[in-house]
């Protein structure tokens, strides 16, 4: 058997690990803490914090193990392909996650709200106009819609710029220019952090000054669910890219061995595309 055929037949199988069961326990503790907190239990926040801390420990430990295995040369081309397929399916599942929220927004705006103001149903809510944005029938309060200009437009430009800086960093990796790689990654992470700071400020002003909350009707609920979950994904992406930046500074990744960088790039570009859809459907239309 040739060396190439032997390499193709070899597939690295890791040793038994404590990380899967520890991660499951972390998620269970977090779920118990969240449920206790929602039901106004005294220890809910502390249980949730303990579960979150344990989950962070698992992520650092588990990913650290995988990184050490990769740097030790234990992964061959077959393992690399399996990782790429896994990341592709993960992003595919994330697409359906956001598609469900966009679908709910579409149904509410173009079907449910107009139906409540037309036909026999309109007799249940006299005076309800059925136009968007709306708090919904029978809900008292003042509604201030979010504008597409200002912070949302700036955040759109920030994410579009971050897509370019990340692509520039990838070009540096392919050419073996480490300074371009690290500078591009640093700029991408910085733009992501600025995005999060601006979005947090927008959410705070909407909640405190505009009276827009999760309980202020269908518009507030859909706005915070969509933008909030997207902000969470940006935070995760910025964290992952920060780890990639640290690894780049210590000399990891080569033009022939860069899957972790590529996986983080795929995720970040996916988050960018989702924001463009969100900017059009939530802020603009």
CB-based burial of residue 21 (10 Å sphere; 0-12 exposed, 13-18 middle, 19+ buried)?
Answer: exposed
Domain extent at residue 10: 1-75
Residues 19, 116, single domain; the answer is: no
Distance between CA atoms of residues 283 and 32, nearest Å:
35
Residue finishing a domain among 75, 102, 127: 75
Do 188 and 261 fall within a single domain? yes
Looking at the fold, whether 23 and 101 belong to one and the same domain comes out as no
Residues 189 and 245 in one domain: yes
Mean pLDDT over 12-36 rounds to 93
Last residue of a domain, one of 46, 75, 104: 75
167 and 155 Cβ atoms separated by less than 8 Å:
no
Predicted TM-score of the model (pTM) = 0.86
My answer on whether 118 and 133 are in the same domain is yes
Q: What is the per-residue pLDDT for 8?
A: 52
pLDDT at 1 over 60: no
Read off the pLDDT of residues 178-195 as tens digits, 9 standing for 90 and up.
Answer: 999 999 999 999 999 999
Our count of domains for the chain comes to 2
135 in Cβ contact with 255 (< 8 Å): no
Residues 169 and 277 in one domain: yes
Q: Taking CA 210 as the corner, what is the angle to CA 150 and CA 277, rounded to the nearest 5 degrees?
A: 45
Compute the half-sphere exposure of residue 172: CA atoms within 13 Å on the CB side of its CA: 17
Which one, of 36, 59, 58, 60, lies nearest residue 47 by Cα? 36
Examine the domain organization and report whether 61 and 98 are in the same domain: no
Q: Is 58 in contact with 22 (CB distance < 8 Å)?
A: yes
- Let me know whether 84 and 197 are in one domain: yes
Looking at the predicted structure, is the pLDDT value of residue 241 above 70?
yes
Total Cβ atoms within 10 A of residue 261:
22
62 and 96 co-located in one domain: no
Q: Are 74 and 7 in contact (CB under 8 A)?
A: no
Same domain, 88 and 174: yes
| 54 pLDDT tier (thresholds 50, 70, 90) | very high
Sign of the CA dihedral with 62 first, then 64, 70, and 73 last: negative
Q: Which pLDDT band, with edges at 50, 70 and 90, does 73 fall under?
A: confident
Length, in residues, of the chain: 285
> Looking at residue 119, what DSSP letter applies?
G
**Residue 29 is part of a domain; what is its CATH number?**
1.10.287.70
Same domain flag for 35 and 142: no
Identify which of 242, 147, 227 has the alpha carbon closest to the alpha carbon of residue 195: 227
Q: Which of 20, 40, 75 is the last residue of a domain?
A: 75
Q: Is 134's pLDDT higher than 90?
A: no
Same domain? For 26 and 101 the reply is no
For residue 235, give the 3-state DSSP assignment: helix
Q: Phi and psi at residue 127, in whole multiples of 5°?
A: 95, -10
Of 98-112, 117-131, 199-213, the poorest mean pLDDT is in 117-131
123-127, 207-211, 240-244: which has the highest mean pLDDT?
240-244
Q: Residue 90 sits in a domain of what CATH number? A: 1.20.120.80
């Amino acid at each position: 058997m040739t060396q190439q055929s032997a390499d193709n037949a070899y597939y690295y199988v890791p040793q038994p690990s404590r990380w899967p069961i520890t991660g499951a326990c972390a998620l269970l503790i977090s779920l118990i803490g969240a449920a206790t907190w929602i039901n106004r239990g005294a220890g809910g926040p502390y249980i949730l914090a303990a579960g979150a801390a344990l989950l962070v420990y698992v992520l650092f430990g588990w990913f650290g193990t995988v990184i050490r295995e990769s740097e030790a040369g234990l992964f061959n081309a077959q393992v690399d392909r399996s990782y790429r397929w896994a990341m592709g399916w993960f992003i595919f599942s994330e697409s359906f996650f956001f598609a469900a929220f966009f679908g709910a927004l579409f149904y509410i705006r173009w079907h449910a709200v107009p139906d409540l103001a037309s036909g026999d149903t309109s007799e249940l809510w006299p005076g309800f106009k059925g136009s968007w944005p709306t708090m919904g029938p029978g809900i008292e309060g003042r509604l201030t819609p979010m504008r597409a200009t200002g912070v949302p437009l700036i955040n759109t430009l920030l994410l579009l710029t971050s897509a370019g800086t990340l692509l520039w960093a990838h070009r540096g990796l392919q050419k073996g220019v480490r300074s371009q790689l690290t500078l591009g990654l640093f700029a991408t992470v910085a733009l992501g952090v600025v995005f999060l700071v601006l979005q947090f400020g927008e959410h705070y002003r909407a909640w405190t000054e505009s009276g827009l909350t999760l309980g202020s009707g269908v518009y507030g609920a859909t706005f915070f669910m969509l933008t909030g979950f997207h902000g969470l994904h940006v935070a995760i992406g910025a964290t992952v890219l920060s780890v990639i930046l640290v690894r780049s500074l210590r000399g990891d990744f080569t033009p022939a061995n860069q899957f972790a960088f590529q996986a983080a790039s795929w995720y970040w570009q996916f988050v960018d595309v989702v924001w463009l859809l969100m900017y059009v459907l939530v802020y603009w239309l």
